[in-house]
Amino acid sequence: MNDGAGSVLDVTRDLFPLISEAAAQSGPVARETVDQMHRAGLFGIMVPRDCGGLELPMLDTLDVFAEVSRADGSAGWVLMAGAATIAFFGAWAEDETVDDLFADGVPLAAGQFAPNGVAIPVDDGYRLTGEYQFGSGINHADWVGAGVMTQPDDGSDPAYLLAIMPASNADLKGNWDVLGLEATASWDYGIHEVTVPASATFDFFAPVRRRGGPTFDLGVMVLTALGHAGFAIGVTRRALDELAALASTKTRMGAGSSLAESEPFQLALARLESRAASAAAWTRETFAEAERGALAGEIDPAAGTRARQATVHVTQEGADIVREAYLLAGTTALRDGPLQRCFRDLHAGSQHFFAGDFATLEMARDVLAGASAPVG
């Protein structure tokens, strides 16, 4: 297929019926859904072109994540986790590992990057041990990533590394009994005495760009936030679409007309639409600003913080919007279906670190530092 951003988004939209229909089934995201996204190149939208990926601009990547999440929040979550994981190693790992990773095209990857493991130096590499959670999509993965802290034997300070290894090295626990994002199969997994070459790691805080464009200089935090933002935008959009679709046929008990004919409902719907559009617009603005700086060779940490805070805002605002939509739909949303699934998935996503207070506090400190600076 043409690798232009427009055609990728068109192909993604064409997958909506398949992904949405499969989401109604119980169990993890269907293998057919994963395979269709893989064949469409969606797991490669962030991957450097040097590795055979599409390396789309950030807003186009955001749109793809949002569109898949509109079809199914769990599918969108698995996509953004896998796409980011493999893109990071494509950009920052050394040639030896990249040659293995991309030998047969863009592979499927998963893993948790929190530093829940230790890395003991051995000849030309590290021996890893750790226990991890939230391996979204790990049941389909070819490769598994893990965050580790080194244990230097020379008394130097430990380093925070991200490592990747064949999925066969991970002990999958198969446990994921949750309220929302149930289909992500975000299983716990263990890594026990696994040796990886140094080429299969990179420094979390100071990765060296070996492939890909300047956007990768924004680092792990900003590029990971992009996927979470797309997820929130897409799930919020689906919830509002579902609410509007049922309004003409839904009549609350004791009401004399449908929801669509009710002026209070119309006001509520318009306000929710306005809030969703505003949050999405600010999100796009901040990521565009961060990317412009990177392309100009001028990385602005404050711009990255704003993008991460926009991700927090669009996620938390989205969770509140979906809650309001759930209440407006009455007992229809109580039953299994897309609106109930949106409610559960976005509330689950709102518990993630990337929807928490860390970026909010950083932005507040940036604002206060700017306010204390002399004017003129």
271-319: per-residue pLDDT in tens?
999 999 999 999 999 999 999 999 999 999 999 999 999 999 999 999 9
Which of 213, 114, 228 has the alpha carbon at shortest distance from 181?
228
Radius of gyration from C-alpha coordinates of the chain: 21
Same domain membership, residue 131 and residue 225: no
The packing angle between helices 16-23 and 338-349, to 10°, is 90
Q: What is the CATH number of the domain that holds 313?
A: 1.20.140.10
User: What pLDDT is stored for residue 152 in this prediction?
Assistant: 85
The pLDDT of residue 2 is above 70: no
Confidence of residue 375 (pLDDT cuts 50, 70, 90): low
How many domains, in total, are found in the chain?
Answer: 3
Query: What does the alpha-carbon distance between residue 63 and residue 66 come to, in Å, rounded to a whole number?
Result: 5
In a domain, 332, yes or no: yes
**Residue 154: pLDDT band with limits 50, 70, 90:** confident
- 3 pLDDT tier (thresholds 50, 70, 90): low
pLDDT above 90 for 133: yes
- Please indicate, yes or no, whether residues 123 and 194 belong to a single structural domain of this protein: yes
Q: Are both 283 and 365 inside the same structural domain?
A: yes
Report the percentage of the chain scoring pLDDT > 90.
Answer: 91
pLDDT grade for 6, boundaries at 50, 70 and 90: confident
Asked if residue 34 has pLDDT above 90, the reply is yes
Final residue belonging to a domain, choices 67, 83, 101: 101
> Do 131 and 89 sit in the same domain of this protein?
no
Average pLDDT of the residues in 21-34 = 96
Residue that is last in its domain, among 203, 235, 264: 203
Alpha-carbon gap, residue 174 to 194, rounded angstroms: 20
State whether 230 and 358 are in the same domain: yes
**Residue 71 is assigned to a structural domain of this protein:** yes
Average pLDDT, the chain: 95
Of all residues in the chain, what percent carry a pLDDT higher than 70? 97
208: in domain: no
* pLDDT value, residue 254: 67
Let me know whether 159 and 230 are in one domain: no
Q: Tokens 């901040």 belong to which residue?
A: 286
Same domain, 163 and 264: no
Write down the pLDDT at residue 1: 41
Of 142, 175, 203, the last residue of a domain is: 203
**Is the same domain home to 57 and 125?**
no
Residue 376 lies in a domain: no
250 plus 272 within the same structural domain: yes
The enclosing domain of 68 has a CATH number of 1.10.540.10
In a domain, 77, yes or no: yes
Give backbone dihedrals phi and psi of 318, rounded to 5 degrees, phi first: -60, -40
Burial of 356 (0-12, 13-18, 19+ CB in 10 A): middle
Flag whether pLDDT at 187 surpasses 80: yes
Question: What's the average model confidence in pLDDT over 183-200?
Answer: 98
Same domain, 258 and 301: yes
- Per the structure, the complete domain to which residue 221 belongs is given by 214-371
Q: Average pLDDT, stretch 210-223?
A: 98
Q: Give the per-residue pLDDT at 373.
A: 65
